[in-house]
Chain A
Amino acid sequence: MSDHVNDLPEATERRLEELEHGLFTSDLSVNEFLLVKEAGFHPVGLVMGSSIYHTGIQTRKWSQSQELTKLTEAMYNARELAMNRMEEEAAELGADGVVGVRLDVNYYEWGKDAAEFIAVGTAVKAEDGVSRRNKLGKPFTSDLSGQDFWTLSQTGYAPQGLVMGTCVYHIAHRGLGQALSTTGQNVELPNFTQALYEARELAMTRMQDESTRLGASGIVGVRLEEKSHQWGSHTIEFLALGTAVTRTGDPVTLTKPTTIISLDN
């Protein structure tokens, strides 16, 4: 992650000042709020970062599978900008971390290559006053829900950061001859398989690199999302997301979980 100078708009600073004087805002549900309190944290504010980004055009070869590096870069940079701005807001609030982070993309009617990237989450601060920031001195970020955050805290692990890796990949169209010769047969398409493997692999590796940079011992809750956005069906973004964690203490002795069957429909 690159270091950014503080570029928060003035109005944002003013609003955050209000939050420092005791009011908190949070999109956590009541259950999540109580569980975050239970884990020893207090919400300090709803923090957000957004970036409206124009992604460049990259020519794709019809019959060749390849990574579209320019689009990969765009998708990564735009999210990184949104994430960094969210982290800055959290840092401004003196928060130790951000939980329940959601990353969204909105498309606008004007400019089909422009998209809005948003990161939203609830900044939290440890109630015991001991800093829980990560190795880089920044507030940790995590897409864990309040429930998962509490459960994680019971295991002696602490989140270090939301890590992501992305790869935009163009999967080759098959030549007409190939398509005809395989019509009516069940065959594996090795090129497809290969391309999908490689793209996922690239996204996962990039995510793991981020985690290593944070000095984390592992990643939990990894999700692999595949989206075509607005590029047509043969160009796919593979996005790997997860929360990097590191062991910080002994696990709280877990009581054996009760098994239940819920009677509500």
Chain B
Amino acid sequence: MSDVANDRSPDLAAVVRAAFAPSKSQKGGASTTSDLSIDEELNLHAIGWEPVELVSGYSVFSTPVGLWSWGQGEIVAATEAHAHAFANAISRIHRDAAAVGAHGVVGVAIERSVYSTYTEVTLLGTAVRPIGAGAINASGLFVSDLSARDFSRLMIAGWQPLGLATGASFVYAPRRTMGAALTQQSQNIELTNYTEAMYNAREMAMERMQQSALSMNGTGVVEVKVVEGPMTFASHAIGFAVWGTVVRLAAQSHRPMTPSMVVSLDDTRVAFDAATLE
């Protein structure tokens, strides 16, 4: 890339005029489809990659009736449904991407819903590859929820995404006995058995995510999303789910980027909130 070519086109209007000159159209070639915005595509191109095709994966798993209401320890079927729904949705988007000769999928939008009788995972993203590159062995194909912009920034810094790592655990919250509830009523006290239940769910979920990251030979998981807390439809169940993109350093060493500072002249949002006065 020469510096001259990189400079902003001095006459955009001329470029636009030329774009509609009859002789200029280069038809033919394979059509591509992508849900990336133009600036994201330009970002990808800046690192030598291009979009190939829009790809998706979906899975829904049923969980037994009455599963959430009573029990002890981990709610195994719920945890399995979550893990399998993720795994199947990922393998389907992976298969879609492999079929169009992609090297990876970026910007995967993840929708995940846990209902009392089923758990659903929907993935939609854009399959990408280095410009003009041929297909690779499908085992080397990555699926990542990083945006195209984050993907290119990571690549510039010398890192590469390896895939999505997920982990989840659902546990029953222990019930307090009537006696305990009464004596605790007026006290400040930590409810240690609940804290423990929460920790168990978290440890199992994090451990599962870390195991899947290690199995991809990753050295890190970035942009980890954490969804945790009580289930809305079952008062005595606690859920903890995490997912993120597994990365490893591909270059010899991390490449620093030395950012510069900018002051935005956009108006900041009004910070005053009348509701706080009531």
Could you say which of A22, A30, A53 contacts B150, with CB atoms under 8 Å apart?
A30
Q: Per-residue 0/1 for B194-207: is the Cβ within 8 Å of any A Cβ (1 yes, 0 no)?
A: 11101110111011
Query: Does the CB pair A110–B236 fall under 8 Å?
Result: yes
Given A25-B224, A54-B191, A258-B262: A109 in contact with B206 (beta carbons within 8 A) = no
Instruction: Let me know if A31 is at the binding interface, CB within 8 A.
Output: yes
Q: Mark B204-233, 1 if CB is under 8 A from A, else 0.
A: 101101100110001111111110111000
Whether B203 and A33, one on each chain, are in contact in the complex, defined by CB atoms closer than 8 angstroms, is: no
The A-B contact count (CB < 8 A) is 168
With a CB–CB cut-off of 8 A, which chain B residues contact A183?
none
Which of A9-17, A137-145, A212-220 is near enough to bind chain B? A9-17
- For A15, A34, A46, A116, which residue has the most chain B Cβ atoms within 10 angstroms? A34
Chain A 208-230 interface mask (CB, 8 Å, partner B; 1/0): 00000000000000000010000
B15 lies within 8 A of chain A by Cβ: no
Tally of A interface residues using CB under 8 Å: 61
Q: What residue in chain A is nearest B147 (Cβ atoms)? A: A30
Given contacts A57-B186, A78-B190, contact A18 B210 (CB under 8 A): yes
CB-based contact A51/B229 at 8 Å: no
Interface range on chain B: under 10, 10 to 19, 20 to 34, or 35 or more? 35 or more
Q: Pick 10 A–B contacts, CB within 8 A, sort by A.
A: A9-B196, A18-B214, A26-B220, A38-B256, A38-B257, A50-B198, A78-B190, A116-B198, A259-B262, A259-B265
A interface residues with partner B (beta carbon < 8 Å): 9, 11-12, 14-15, 18-19, 22-31, 33-35, 37-38, 43, 46, 48, 50-57, 70, 73-74, 77-78, 81, 106, 108-111, 113-114, 116, 118, 120, 150-151, 226, 233, 254-255, 257-262
* Chain B residues engaging chain A, CB cutoff 8 angstroms: 146, 150, 153-154, 157, 173, 175-176, 181, 184-191, 194-196, 198-200, 202-204, 206-207, 209-210, 213-214, 218-226, 228-230, 235-236, 244, 254, 256-266, 276, 278
